[in-house]
Structure 1
Amino acid sequence: MLREVAAGLVEAGIAAVAPTFVADECRVSSVRKIGVVRIAGYDVWIRPRTPVRRLFAMLGYARAGSAIWEDEDFGFAADDDLVPALAHAFERQAARALVVGPLRGYVTREDVLPLVRGRWRIGDQLTRRGGQPLPVEVSFDDYVEDIAENQLVLTAAARLLRLPGVPDDVVSRLRRVVRVLDGVTMIPVGAPVPVVRTDRRNARYSAVLPLASLVLSGASIEQRAGSHIGAGFLDDMWSVFGDFVTASLREAFRPYGGELVAQYSSTLDIGGTVKIAPDLVWLVDGEVRACIDVKYKVEKHGQDPNADLYQMAAYCRRFGLGEGHLVYAAGGVGSGPVDVLQGPSLIRTALDLSEPCHTVAEALQVLSLRVAGA
């Protein structure tokens, strides 16, 4: 079974696996995901080094521009695992949203009826009915529960029910959510997830919709024929960290004008053949004033990640900058400058992700203050 689990980890792009000299033992490295996945009948849990509550706080900050999910009342269980905590919070917010019944809204439908209802589609009547008066090709607005908001909540609840590790008491409450939304259409697997903006009409869904989108947009894994991989929910920790830092820095740079651009595309050489794309650049009047790279994964044994320093030094040379900035998740790389001989100063900022989101965001505000020279 160990061999099948190892093969599943590699197949799903979760980690690199290498055999050791000890029987039934493998070395797992380059772990790129967090969450849970069922492989060859085993539930494989991948826990982040960041506390789960802080992880959700970062997700909320990146998605809503504030630590919306750091609120103690939001419902994240005191759990070390991603899926149980997510399921608990989602069920709690779904129950609050549906306490007075599902939201209803107008949906435009097209149908063929024995009488005119709504708008008569004369063009379709002529082409499809050959000028016959009945039945009538019509379109009309129907006030129903089968709207995007309910589809998101229902599909997320159903997805969570298929995942391993959801507590039994949460399972029973998720099933209640599914029953309340009976008659609502499920979003097919692989179909685009609707983007729903909250307003006064759907305000009571404002807390559950981001969670539903998170459930559906995570790197979800479904059973595939001929594979040892079953249901699972996985997310990229580097992406969570990068999105949080980007959202925080955009807010921090706002008072200084200009624009913070992600994945800025440029070239390193005169011929334009060597492509570069720094994680973030601060543009002012079309000029690159600062370059920032965000790194979640660090080198082993506390060694400085030299490749990151080489890369940033090249960026600074390309854009004529005296300073370059590297933002890390704390745990192996210290803060402080690395002064390159006859080159730029490379400033490393290590963020302690065990701290509350607002504390981490304050550290990024200090970085923006240094960059802007204010």
Structure 2
Amino acid sequence: MLPSTIELREADQPVVHRLPRAVAVGLAAANIATIAPTFGADEYRVSGVRKVGVVRIAGHTVWLKPKTPVRRLFAMLGYARAGSALWTEDDFGFEEDDELVPALAHAFVRQASRALAGGPLRGYVTREDALPLVRGRWRIGDQLTRRGGQTLPVEVSFDDYVEDIAENQVLLTAATRLLRLPGVPADVLGVLRRIVRVLDGVSVIPVGAPVPVVRPNRRNARYSSALALASLVLSGSSVEQRAGSVVASGFLVDMWSVFEDFVSAALREAFKPYGGELVSQYASTLDVEGTVKIAPDLVWVVEGVVRACIDVKYKVEKHGQYPNADLYQMAAYCRRFGLEEGWLVYAAGSGFAESVRIVEGPKVVRKYVALDADGAGLLAQSKRFVARVARSVCPVLPLR
């Protein structure tokens, strides 16, 4: 009998697993992994697993485990979103070997409970209504068009001091989302239900609707950590995929997106002392006619001139080598922008760098980010890398 709980690990290399056919179909249909049947009964070759989290398919729970320790994963997620500082161990409150979803659920209820300890925030919300008396501003135009000259009810708009504000809506929606996810620990479920009760009367953000942008201020400061975690809950790709009679649902995070967002945020911060601007997805063309579009991941622009080009790659080596296509791509970028050096950043290795000299072309430096480092170590690697890039452009720049 095939297991009801299945574990897959994030990987590029194919691995043979015994899977129910419905699970194999669901994984492929939701684009979670590449699935190929083998000659064995219920055996499939699984590759290209770049999403981590948990998903339920046809009654089976599939755990997708990251190569990166959960604590490092949260550090990268947190920095890419918060920008200014990494969350501390006290913010998390989970063990090193926890899975992503249980860790996220524990961290969320810990911070949400702290945020709501003094009661939910209240704020002013502008409402429009038809009332038996005038409250706030009388909307004369609506009164004439909707009421045909009748005096009652009165079309008005007014500011109401309520709990149904964006901050509480985000927390409540994250709590209800976690309650529906597979893999949330039983001790967390009770706390999530209490959070929902405390926020009774607050609106849940509809599925597919944009999440309100909450600007940090003195009034909502006690919500800051809880809102950051709620944002992670709501940003995880919600899988609702139907392939025939197979339905997949769960919470997944794209590791390539996590890595690229973290590197972009860390490098943008590290470049600040050197001036200029680090631009993401810099749009340009490769040919004279302007028909071949290019968009390097990151370029450092100083006084309107591209001084450095960086591409971020979340991939691992295959057979001891990294894809030559990356070198071709970067060589083309360097030729386009007149650069003598290009930079490729990979999520693998032990933090070292190596250079490849293109014949009659630029030097391409491949930098390997050691993801087994802690959050501070990851940032230190970024600062050293930026210092090297900046000095390669201008050798007289001081060490930072």
Give, in whole Å, the separation in 2 of the partners of 1:222 and 1:155: 17
Give, in whole Å, the separation in 2 of the partners of 1:11 and 1:320: 43
Which residue pairs with 2:58 in the alignment?
Answer: 40
**Is residue 2:300 matched to residue 1:282?**
yes
Rate the CA distance shift 1:21–1:300 in 2: closer, same or farther, 3 A.
farther
Which residue pairs with 2:92 in the alignment?
Answer: 75
Give, in whole Å, the separation in 2 of the partners of 1:368 and 1:223: 41
Contact residue 34 and residue 234 of structure 1 kept, 8 A: yes
- 1:248-267 correspondence to structure 2 within 5 Å: 248-267=266-285
Rate the CA distance shift 1:144–1:223 in 2: closer, same or farther, 3 A.
farther
Name the SS of the counterpart of 1:264 in structure 2. Answer: coil
Name the SS of the counterpart of 2:319 in structure 1. Answer: helix
**Is residue 2:355 matched to residue 1:337?**
yes
CA deviation profile, 1:135-173 (whole Å, cap 9, x unmatched) = 111111111111111111111001001111111001111
Give, in whole Å, the separation in 2 of the partners of 1:192 and 1:145: 20
Deviation at 1:223, TM superposition (A): 6.6
Give, in whole Å, the separation in 1 of the partners of 2:349 and 2:142: 65
Give, in whole Å, the separation in 1 of the partners of 2:107 and 2:351: 33
Rate the CA distance shift 1:61–1:326 in 2: closer, same or farther, 3 A.
same
Which residue pairs with 2:124 in the alignment?
Answer: 106
Name the SS of the counterpart of 1:68 in structure 2. Answer: coil
Deviation at 1:366, TM superposition (A): 1.6
CA deviation profile, 1:100-158 (whole Å, cap 9, x unmatched) = 11111111111111111111111111222222222111111111111111111111001
Give, in whole Å, the separation in 2 of the partners of 1:226 and 1:105: 46
Code of the aligned partner of 1:18: A
- 1:290-369 correspondence to structure 2 within 5 Å: 290-331=308-349, 335-369=353-387
Give, in whole Å, the separation in 2 of the partners of 1:117 and 1:27: 67
Give, in whole Å, the separation in 2 of the partners of 1:234 and 1:263: 24
- 1:153-232 correspondence to structure 2 within 5 Å: 153-222=171-240, 224=242, 226-232=244-250
Q: CA RMSD in A?
A: 1.6
Contact residue 342 and residue 362 of structure 2 kept, 8 A: yes
Contact residue 352 and residue 369 of structure 2 kept, 8 A: no
Contact residue 350 and residue 369 of structure 2 kept, 8 A: no
Name the SS of the counterpart of 1:330 in structure 2. Answer: coil
Code of the aligned partner of 2:94: A
Deviation at 1:304, TM superposition (A): 2.3
**Is residue 2:37 matched to residue 1:19?**
yes
Give, in whole Å, the separation in 1 of the partners of 2:375 and 2:293: 34
Give, in whole Å, the separation in 2 of the partners of 1:350 and 1:103: 45
Deviation at 1:22, TM superposition (A): 2.5
Give, in whole Å, the separation in 2 of the partners of 1:212 and 1:327: 30
Rate the CA distance shift 1:40–1:332 in 2: closer, same or farther, 3 A.
farther
Which residue pairs with 1:124 in the alignment?
Answer: 142
Please, which runs of 5 or more residues in structure 2 have no aligned partner?
A: 1-18, 392-396
CA deviation profile, 1:247-285 (whole Å, cap 9, x unmatched) = 111111111111111011111112222111110001111
Give, in whole Å, the separation in 2 of the partners of 1:248 and 1:332: 18
Give, in whole Å, the separation in 1 of the partners of 2:169 and 2:250: 21
CA deviation profile, 1:292-346 (whole Å, cap 9, x unmatched) = 0001112323222211111111111111111000111114996311111211111
Please, which runs of 5 or more residues in structure 1 have no aligned partner?
A: none
Contact residue 216 and residue 224 of structure 2 kept, 8 A: yes
Which residue pairs with 2:3 in the alignment?
Answer: none
Deviation at 1:57, TM superposition (A): 0.5
Contact residue 351 and residue 370 of structure 2 kept, 8 A: no
**Is residue 2:50 matched to residue 1:56?**
no
Deviation at 1:66, TM superposition (A): 3.3
Which residue pairs with 1:243 in the alignment?
Answer: 261
Rate the CA distance shift 1:225–1:272 in 2: closer, same or farther, 3 A.
closer
Contact residue 300 and residue 332 of structure 1 kept, 8 A: no
Q: Structure 1-normalised TM-score? A: 0.96
Name the SS of the counterpart of 1:183 in structure 2. Answer: coil
Give, in whole Å, the separation in 1 of the partners of 2:117 and 2:66: 34
Deviation at 1:76, TM superposition (A): 4.0
Contact residue 124 and residue 161 of structure 2 kept, 8 A: yes
Contact residue 303 and residue 333 of structure 1 kept, 8 A: no
Which residue pairs with 1:149 in the alignment?
Answer: 167
Name the SS of the counterpart of 1:63 in structure 2. Answer: helix
Deviation at 1:236, TM superposition (A): 0.6
Q: Structure 2-normalised TM-score? A: 0.90
Rate the CA distance shift 1:84–1:262 in 2: closer, same or farther, 3 A.
same
Contact residue 75 and residue 86 of structure 2 kept, 8 A: yes
Aligned residues: 373
Code of the aligned partner of 1:322: E
Contact residue 138 and residue 156 of structure 2 kept, 8 A: yes
Report % sequence identity: 72
Give, in whole Å, the separation in 1 of the partners of 2:211 and 2:243: 24
Give, in whole Å, the separation in 2 of the partners of 1:162 and 1:104: 27
Rate the CA distance shift 1:317–1:223 in 2: closer, same or farther, 3 A.
closer
